[in-house]
Structure 1
Amino acid sequence: MLIILTMVLFALALSTIVMFISSLLSKKTIIDREKSSPFECGFDPKGSARLPFSLRFFLIAIIFLIFDVEITLLLPLVVVTKLTFIKTWVITGTFFLLILLAGLYHEWNQGALDWSS
């Protein structure tokens, strides 16, 4: 019991000493306050809340989320078709991919994927 208590006290003392030394050696400047402030979508949280938001950035982010979710829905189809080769799964996966590609083609035609304009 005495050995365990000694080890716990040693660990506590060592961790306290290391934290104290790191706080003494660290740089504490006003610039560090900027680093510890929240960062949301490239906006300065201390600035005006009425800044215009890039609609192009928003559309690209939404398209990314949609395709990301659809890819996570497609991954189990690969496992299912390897385990059991059922025509229903193949037809479902192909239909899902066709809808996905049609949506991508539509977004491309509308210019939503063109970042430069």
Structure 2
Amino acid sequence: MSMLIMSMIIFMVTTIMMILASILSKKTFSDREKNSPFECGFDPKSSARLPFSLQFFLIAVIFLIFDVEITLLIPLILTIKITNIMNYMIIMIFFLIILLMGLYHEWNQGALNWAY
């Protein structure tokens, strides 16, 4: 019961602090000068937004996908002691086959080739 009371007190204090911060904060008005990039007090000579390489974005997304799948493999390693070895091997092989099929698909589509 004391944990519930402490949780409610902490929740109320944080809520009150957030409300006070939003009330007391300075209001900012955005205008053209504030939204433009600052370059030594002069107007910029070129656009501040440079084009982004789509190939780099695709490689980054592929890395994130495979990185998340690797983090899903780590708990499988830790559960080898408490599971049946046959079930463990079936799950691990199935998961690795899915990973390798995804890698083969990306390689076959040419997403891993870096084109200049």
TM-score of the aligned structures, taking structure 1 as reference length: 0.53
Structure 1 residue 47: Cα displacement = 4.7
Instruction: Tell which has more relative contact order, 1 or 2 (C-alpha 8 A, sep 6+).
Output: 2
Q: Deviations over 1:64-103 (max 9, x none)?
A: 0011110010011111123433422221111111010000
Amino acid at match of 1:93: M
Structure 1 residue 105: Cα displacement = 0.5
In the other structure, the counterpart of 1:115 is 114
Identical-pair percentage? 65
Q: What secondary structure sits across from 1:53 in the alignment?
A: coil
For 1:113 and 1:73, how far apart are their aligned partners in 2?
23
Q: Deviations over 1:1-36 (max 9, x none)?
A: xxxxxxxxxxxxxxxxxxxxxxxxxxxxxxxxxxxx
In the other structure, the counterpart of 1:52 is 51
Superposed, which structure 2 residues align to 1:73-88 within 5 Å?
73-88=72-87
Superposed, which structure 2 residues align to 1:1-117 within 5 Å?
47-49=47-49, 51-117=50-116
In the other structure, the counterpart of 1:7 is none
RMSD value, Cα: 2.0
Q: Is the 8 A contact 1:60 1:112 kept in 2?
A: yes
For 1:116 and 1:52, how far apart are their aligned partners in 2?
16
TM-score of the aligned structures, taking structure 2 as reference length: 0.54
5+ unaligned residues in a row in structure 1: which ranges?
A: 1-45
Q: Is the 8 A contact 1:81 1:89 kept in 2?
A: yes
5+ unaligned residues in a row in structure 2: which ranges?
A: 1-45
For 2:47 and 2:79, how far apart are their aligned partners in 1?
51
